[in-house]
C-alpha cells in the first residue's frame, strides 16, 4: 500500500497460484470526463496479483507506453462511433514497449523487448506470447520510443492513411492538420518522402518550426487567423489531398480549399472528441468539386504492416523519417500525460517511460 493520495486502497490477497511480488500499479478510469479529460478522471490503483505463467505465456514489465488522443472519446458513456464507452474502473489500453522478465514461450527469453498493441496501463502483466511483436535485434540501436512512433502505431496509422488510403502522389499539394502530434508528424514526413508539396498546421510557433524541420514546405499556427485564410495563403491554387487529425473548422477549411476531384483522408477529429461531432457546414462542396472523403481505421489494415515496416525502416536508416516524441518519466504520470494531449502539451507522440 502507498500514501499516494491518488492510489486507491485495494485489498490484495496473496493466495496460492499467484506470484509473491511487490505491489503492481495500474491506472483506471475513475469518472466520465466533463469536456476536456483531466488527470483526476483517472485513478492510480493496486492491481490484482498476477497469475502464474501457463505454457505459451510470458511475464512482462512496461518500459514505454504510448498515449492516444482518440481514447478521450472512448471515456464517454457513449462514443462517437455509437459503441458504449469504457466502464468506470476499467484499465485503459494502448501500445507499449515491454521487456520480457520470465518466459514459458519458445518465442521469447528474459531480456527480450516486444511491442504489444493493446497493453493495459499496468506496470507488469502476464500475456500470451502471440500477442507480442518482437523488437528485432537489428533495431536494438534505435531509441525505444521509435517502436511507438515512426515504426509503431502512429507511424503505421500515418502510412496507411497517407500512402495507401490517400495514395499520395508527387504532384499533390497535401495539407496535414494536427501535424505536430504523433500521427501528424509521421504523416508530414511520409508525404514529403513521396515527393509531395506539404503544408501543415499546429498550435504554437515552436511546433510550426518543427514542421518545417520535418520537411513541410509551409506551416502555420492555426491560432493566427481563420484557417481557410491561412490555408489559401499557403496554397493559393488549392490542395489535392487533406490528411485530417482534427475535424471541425479544419475540415471545413479544407473542403473550401480542395481542388476539383480532391481527396480527404479522415484519420481523426481531436477537436470533436468529448462532444457530439457535427458534420461540415459546407459539405455541398463535395458535389460541386467532386470531392472524395475516405475514413479509415488502422486496425482494419493489419495486412499492410510488413509493407509499412519495409518502407519505414528504410526511411529511418536514411535519416528521412525521425521519431518526434515527448516523454514523461514515471508510471504515475500517465494521467497527466494523457490529459496534456487535449491541450497541445505534446510535441510528436506523447509517451510515458515507466
Ligand atoms: N483512424 C485511425 O485508425 C487512427 C489511429 C490512431 C489515431 N487516430 C487519430 O489521429 C489523430 C491524431 O492522434 P495522435 O495520437 O497523433 O494525437 P496527437 O496529435 O499526438 O495529440 C493531439 C494534438 O491535437 C491537437 N489538438 C488538440 N485539441 C485540438 C483542437 N481543438 N483543435 C486543433 N488541434 C487540437 C494538439 O496539438 P496542437 O498544439 O497542434 O493543437 C494535440 O497535441 C487523433 O484524432 C486520433 O484519434 C486515428
Task: Measure the CA–CA gap between 354 and 337, rounded to whole angstroms.
Answer: 12
- The full set of domain ranges for the chain reads 7-146+324-353, 153-299
CATH ID of 7-146+324-353, from 3.90.180.10, 3.40.30.10, 3.40.50.2300, 3.40.50.1970: 3.90.180.10
Identify which of 253, 344, 347, 352 to mutate to test ligand 1's pocket (most ligand atoms within 8 A of the CB). Answer: 344
- Helix ranges (H only) for the chain are 71-74, 153-159, 182-193, 205-213, 227-234, 249-257, 285-288, 305-317, 334-340
User: Closest ligand 1 atom to the C-alpha of 249?
Assistant: 32
User: Structurally, what CATH architecture does the domain formed by 153-299 represent?
Assistant: 3-Layer(aba) Sandwich (3.40)
Mean pLDDT of the chain: 93
Nearest C-alpha to atom 31 of ligand 1 is from which residue?
Answer: 271
pLDDT for residue 15 is more than 70: no
Query: What sign has the CA pseudo-torsion 127, 130, 131, 134?
Result: positive
Model confidence pLDDT, tens digit, residues 211-254: 999 999 999 999 999 999 999 999 999 999 999 999 999 999 99
- Proportion of the chain above pLDDT 70, given as a percent: 94
Chain centre distance of CA 86: 18
Same fold across 7-146+324-353 and 153-299: no
Length of the chain: 354
Range in 13-22, 42-51, 137-146, 278-287 with the lowest mean pLDDT: 13-22
- Proportion of the chain above pLDDT 90, given as a percent: 87
User: Closest ligand 1 atom to the C-alpha of 297?
Assistant: 3
* Residue ranges around ligand 1 (CB below 6 Å): 68-70, 154, 157, 178, 180-184, 202-204, 207, 245-246, 267-271, 296-298, 341-342, 344, 346, 349-350
User: Closest ligand 1 atom to the C-alpha of 298?
Assistant: 3
Banded pLDDT at 21 (limits 50, 70, 90): low
Model confidence pLDDT, tens digit, residues 42-81: 999 999 999 999 999 999 999 999 999 999 999 988 888 7
Torsion angle, CA of 67/71/75/77, rounded to 10 degrees?
Answer: -170
Strands (E), 23-176: 25-29, 42-46, 57-66, 93-103, 113-120, 124-128, 132-134, 173-176
Cell numbers of 288, please?
Answer: 460541386
Q: How far is the CA of 178 from the centre of ligand 1 (A)?
A: 6
Identify which of 35, 65, 69, 149 to mutate to test ligand 1's pocket (most ligand atoms within 8 A of the CB). Answer: 69
Task: Measure the CA–CA gap between 323 and 332, rounded to whole angstroms.
Answer: 24
How many Cβ atoms sit within 10 Å of the Cβ of residue 331?
19
pLDDT at 22: 82
Amino acid at each position: 500500500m502507498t500514501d499516494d493520495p491518488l492510489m486507491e486502497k485495494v485489498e490484495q490477497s496473496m493466495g496460492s497460484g499467484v506470484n509473491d511480488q511487490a505491489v503492481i500499479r495500474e491506472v483506471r478510469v475513475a469518472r466520465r470526463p466533463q469536456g476536456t479529460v483531466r488527470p483526476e478522471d483517472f485513478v492510480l490503483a493496486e492491481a490484482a496479483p498476477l497469475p502464474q505463467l501457463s505454457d505459451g505465456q510470458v511475464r512482462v514489465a512496461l518500459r514505454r507506453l504510448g498515449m492516444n488522443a482518440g481514447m478521450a472519446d472512448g471515456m464517454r458513456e457513449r462514443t462517437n462511433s455509437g459503441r458504449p464507452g469504457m466502464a468506470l474502473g476499467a484499465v485503459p489500453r494502448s501500445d507499449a514497449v515491454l521487456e520480457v522478465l520470465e518466459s514459458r514461450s519458445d518465442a521469447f527469453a528474459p531480456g527480450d523487448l516486444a511491442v504489444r498493441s493493446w497493453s493495459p496501463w499496468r506496470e507488469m502483466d502476464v500475456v500470451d506470447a502471440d500477442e507480442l511483436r518482437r523488437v528485432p535485434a537489428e533495431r536494438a540501436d534505435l531509441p525505444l520510443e521509435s517502436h511507438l512512433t515512426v515504426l509503431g502505431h502512429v507511424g503505421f496509422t500515418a502510412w496507411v492513411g497517407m500512402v495507401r488510403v490517400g495514395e499520395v502522389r508527387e504532384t499533390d499539394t497535401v495539407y496535414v492538420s494536427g501535424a505536430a502530434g504523433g500521427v501528424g508528424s509521421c504523416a508530414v514526413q511520409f508525404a514529403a518522402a513521396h515527393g509531395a508539396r506539404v503544408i501543415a498546421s499546429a498550435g504554437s510557433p515552436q511546433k510550426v518550426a518543427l514542421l518545417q524541420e520535418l520537411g513541410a514546405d509551409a506551416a502555420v499556427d492555426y491560432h493566427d487567423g481563420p484557417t481557410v485564410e491561412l490555408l489559401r495563403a499557403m496554397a493559393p491554387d488549392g490542395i489535392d489531398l487533406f490528411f485530417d487529425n482534427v475535424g471541425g473548422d479544419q475540415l471545413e477549411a479544407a473542403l473550401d480549399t480542395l481542388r476539383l476531384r480532391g481527396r480527404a483522408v479522415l484519420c481523426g477529429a481531436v477537436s470533436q472528441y468529448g462532444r457530439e461531432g457535427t458534420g461540415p457546414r459546407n459539405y455541398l462542396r463535395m458535389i460541386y468539386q467532386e470531392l472524395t472523403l475516405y475514413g479509415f481505421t488502422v486496425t482494419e489494415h493489419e495486412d499492410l504492416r510488413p509493407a509499412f515496416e519495409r518502407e519505414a525502416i528504410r526511411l529511418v536508416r536514411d535519416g528521412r523519417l525521425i521519431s518526434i516524441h515527448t516523454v514523461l518519466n514515471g508510471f504515475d504520470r500517465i494521467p497527466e500525460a494523457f490529459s496534456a494531449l487535449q491541450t497541445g502539451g505534446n510535441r510528436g507522440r506523447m509517451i510515458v517511460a515507466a
